[in-house]
Amino acid sequence: MLKNIKMKKSFNEIINQDIPVLIDFTADWCGPCKSMAPILKQLKSELKDAISIIKINVDANKTLAAKYQVQGVPTFIIFKQGKQIWRQSGMQSISQLKKAIAS
């Protein structure tokens, strides 16, 4: 369900899906990132196949984190058909995430 990205597909292929793609830029050492895990799991269980949620470890994917100017973790970016439609850093509630996905 929620998994760390295994660059089997290119990042562009991942974000160019027809459904919204929530990218979670995270780090193993980040407490708030760990606190977001159950929220993201609940979001996925509620929205099912209407969303794709991808976790990207900034320490293992420095180039990608730099490309998207991730300054702190967690940082969330929602893409629809390859276009960034929302971005926010820090803890997010499930209602904030749902609202962003629906926009």
What residues act catalytically? 30, 33
Of residues 25, 36, 30, the one with CA closest to residue 71: 25
3-class DSSP assignment, residue 95 = helix
3-class DSSP assignment, residue 17 = coil
Half-sphere exposure of 44 (CA within 13 A, CB side): 17
For the chain, what is the radius of gyration of the CA atoms?
12
